Amino acid sequence: MKEKIKKTKYALVTGGSRGIGSAICQQLAKDLNYKLLINYKGNKEAAENTLQKVIEAGGQGELLQFDVANAEQVNTVLDNWHELNKNSIIEVVVNNAGITKDNLFMWMKNEDWKSVIDTSLNGFFNVTNKLIKNLLVNRYGRIINMVSVSGLKGTPGQTNYSAAKGAVIAATKALAQEVAKRKITVNAVAPGFIVSDMTNGLDEKELKKMIPINRFGKAEEVAHLVSFLASEKSSYITGEVININGGIYS
């Protein structure tokens, strides 16, 4: 038998420059022995800021610029990265990149439907499909899909976002069964209202009345859950959707 070369292990976080994505990068750096690949689409400054925090947390990492919605770009960037990092494996994939383009369905424009589906749903496909072969050969891996309470219960004004997240939840369950035999787990994390850029425009004072825990969640709280799912400790959990929403929905 050929001797196995020990590979450098990486965790990729898409949309890792800000909000929940940034918190996840920092938590993974603190908790686990992975180098971070911080994906960002356009905000390099925020991505560099996250990288700095990763380093301060004792981790290592690098930035990877691509738009998850652009399959060609994903392929090119990841192919180049693999070419330069032949003895490395992206063992943890956190599909976090997502956008919202909210509107009542009757006013929703075709491009707002399409762009949300392209990023939140097709982005999951573009990145995960590209990396799954290596994970199967590696016979170990963690795929964590950031979804939303919107994908479970549906949120008015977010038909596009709810549809995309609901589809990713279904894909999570299907893929989990396909790859479980190779010790690859696939789970989804469904946050409720979390303090971030995405919830910036919302009236927290009013909305928190609906939340049993009576506050918005923190990005760090979501990051702790993701870090657990990315670890070996979560080996027997797969195909699950884990709510983190202060009790607003279960």
Partner 1 sequence: MSKQITMDIEEIINKTNEFLIDEFEVEEDDISPEANLKETLELDSLDYIDLVVSVESNFNVKLDAEDFENTVTLQDFYDLIYRKLK
Active site residues: 161
**Minimum distance, C-beta of residue 132 to partner 1, in the bound complex (Å):** 9
Using alpha carbons, list the distances in angstroms from residue 183 to 80, 141, 176, 194. Answer: 27, 7, 10, 31
The answer to whether residues 96 and 15 touch, using CB atoms and an 8 Å cutoff, is yes
Q: Please say which residue, 1 or 106, places its beta carbon nearer to partner 1.
A: 1
| CA 56 – CA 90 distance, rounded (Å) | 22
**Minimum distance, C-beta of residue 7 to partner 1, in the bound complex (Å):** 14
What is the binding site for partner 1 (CB under 8 A)? 1-2, 133, 136-137, 178-179, 181-182
Return the closest-CA partner of residue 127 out of 93, 170, 161: 93
Q: Please say which residue, 84 or 137, places its beta carbon nearer to partner 1.
A: 137
Q: Please say which residue, 57 or 179, places its beta carbon nearer to partner 1.
A: 179
**Minimum distance, C-beta of residue 182 to partner 1, in the bound complex (Å):** 6
- Sheet hosting strand 35-40, strand order edge to edge: 61-65, 35-40, 8-13, 88-95, 141-146, 184-191, 241-244
Q: Which residues pair with 249 in a beta bridge?
A: none
The answer to whether residues 159 and 121 touch, using CB atoms and an 8 Å cutoff, is no
Return the closest-CA partner of residue 102 out of 23, 170, 168, 200: 200
| CA 97 – CA 113 distance, rounded (Å) | 16
**Minimum distance, C-beta of residue 1 to partner 1, in the bound complex (Å):** 7
Q: Please say which residue, 70 or 138, places its beta carbon nearer to partner 1.
A: 138
Using alpha carbons, list the distances in angstroms from residue 48 to 36, 90, 130, 236. Answer: 12, 20, 25, 35
**Minimum distance, C-beta of residue 47 to partner 1, in the bound complex (Å):** 32
